Amino acid sequence: MEEEIDAMIRYLATERGLSEAYQLSVRQTLDALAGWLAKRGGGLRDLGTEDLAAFLGQRKRDGLKAASLRITTVHLKVFFRWLAAKGRLVMDPAEPLLAPRPDQTLPETLHAQEIRKLLESIDPTRPLGRRDLAILELFYSSGLRLSELCQARLEMMDFTGGFLRITGKGGKTRIVRVGTKALAAIDDFLHHERPNLVTRRTSSHLFISVRGTALSPDRVRQIVKERARAAGIDQSMYPHLLRHSFATHLLEGGADLRVIQELLGHSDISTTQIYTHVDRQRLKSVHRQFHPRG
């Protein structure tokens, strides 16, 4: 399968223009299928729908949750549809597969007071304080994905209009609003701290490391965790939590769901609707806490 997998990844990169993260995710699924197939014996052309269902069953026994199994199923469908279209298979064995329904778990969020506590705990006069404050302000102000923040470049910023042009999932470009406090934090970082981090090999990435290189997603995750720990926030902290909080607080403030969908870059409104459930859960909690017969 190695040759077919490599060809598939090249197709995703060159013809579809999909992100490296997506390519890696697909490769991991197909490598797992290749390993499973090697243990069973037989070739790619011998696989039928029942065999693929057995593979998914094994992945479930290995501990994959419904959401991950759903993604794995999509990867298989994309791969085998492509093989059949290229004439490398007579038929597509993945076409009848049904993706499992995702778990209806509600996203975690932070209260506005916790967000304020986190942001106010950062001293911009300390080393890298301006950079880290700008990162957290931008996450919460604009609801960016981790990959979008890491890919943000200087030329994408519009300080006059208060906007940032980014490329999100599926190569889709959108314009996101950057709040006044986030703009001020970014401007402060660009004028008083970023110049000291720049080296000969520094690119135009908005946020850079002490070595002048673009910040990696792992490093940004680490920064978020470290800043939350320093602020005394006990809740497990990760960048997407700020995205969830951004959407939830907008909804609580009365923003239209369609506007939130556009700001988040969701292609389907059903993805955004999860935040209405979060809002209802919070209303129930407040009612139980304060109503005499709650």
165 within some domain? yes
| Together in a domain, 79 and 134 | no
Q: Above 70 in pLDDT, residue 14? A: yes
Structural domain boundaries enclosing 15: 2-85
- Is 245 within 8 Å of 115 (Cβ atoms)? yes
Structure tokens at 47: 């696989």
Mean pLDDT of 267-286: 71
Please indicate, yes or no, whether residues 52 and 183 belong to a single structural domain of this protein.
no
Question: Residue 183 has what pLDDT?
Answer: 97
Residues 163-193 have pLDDT tens digits of 999 988 777 889 999 999 999 999 999 999 9
- Domain assignment present for residue 104? The answer is no
Contact 176, 164 (CB under 8 A): yes
Query: Does residue 142 share a domain with residue 64?
Result: no
From 50, 85, 120, give the residue that closes a domain: 85
Reading the block at residue 58, the tokens are 């094994």
Assigned domain for 281 exists: yes
> Are both 7 and 145 inside the same structural domain?
no
Residue 105 within a domain: no
Residue 221 domain-assigned (yes or no): yes
Task: Kindly state whether residues 7 and 72 are assigned to the same domain.
Answer: yes
* Full DSSP string of 50-83: HHHHHHHHHHHHTT--HHHHHHHHHHHHHHHHHH
68 and 130 co-located in one domain: no
Is the same domain home to 120 and 231? Answer: yes
Contact 231, 113 (CB under 8 A): no
Which pLDDT value is given to residue 290?
59
Same domain, 169 and 75: no
List the one residue out of 70, 225, 213 whose CA is nearest residue 135.
Answer: 225
Give yes or no: residues 50 and 162 share one domain: no
What is the identity of the amino acid at 181? K
Evaluate whether residue 173 is within a structural domain: yes
Contact 97, 52 (CB under 8 A): yes
Is 81:4 a contact under the CB 8 Å cutoff?
no
User: Does the pLDDT value for residue 249 go beyond 80?
Assistant: yes
Q: What is the pLDDT of residue 209?
A: 97
Q: What are phi and psi of 157, to 5 degrees?
A: -85, 135
> Quick check: 215 pLDDT over 70?
yes
The reported pLDDT for the residue numbered 109 is 87
Please report the pLDDT score of residue 280 as a whole number: 64
Residue 62 sits in a domain whose CATH number is 1.10.150
Residues 189-204 have a mean pLDDT of: 96
User: Band of the pLDDT at 65, cuts 50, 70, 90?
Assistant: confident
The answer to whether position 93 is within a domain reads no
d(CA 283, CA 61): 37
User: pLDDT: is 20 or 100 the higher one?
Assistant: 20
The pLDDT tens digits for 106-135 are 678 898 999 999 999 999 999 999 999 999
pLDDT of residue 247: 92
pLDDT(293) > 60: no
pLDDT (tens digit per residue) in 33-52: 999 998 888 778 888 999 99
Separation of alpha carbons 169 and 21, rounded Å = 10
Domain tally, the chain:
2
Half-sphere exposure of 115 (CA within 13 A, CB side): 19
Q: What CATH number did the domain enclosing 163 receive? A: 1.10.443.10
> What average pLDDT does the structure give for the chain?
89
Pull the structure tokens for residue 249. Answer: 């607080």
Confidence tier at 267 by pLDDT (50, 70, 90): confident
C-alpha–C-alpha distance, residues 189 and 192, integer Å: 5
Catalytic residue ranges: 145, 169, 240, 243, 266, 275
**Judgement on whether residues 59 and 6 belong to the same structural domain of the protein:** yes
Over residues 232-247, the pLDDT tens digits come to: 998 889 999 999 999 9
Please answer whether residues 223 and 254 qualify as being in contact, where contact means their C-beta atoms are separated by less than 8 angstroms: no
Give 260's Cβ-side CA count (13 Å radius). Answer: 23
Do 171 and 267 lie in one domain? The reply is yes
225 shares a domain with 124: yes
Rounded to an integer, the average pLDDT of 250-268 is: 88
d(CA 54, CA 154): 49
Residue 282 has pLDDT above 80, yes or no: no
For residue 294, pLDDT over 60 is answered with no
pLDDT at position 266 is 87
Domain end marker among 67, 85, 103 = 85
Domain assignment of residue 228, yes or no = yes
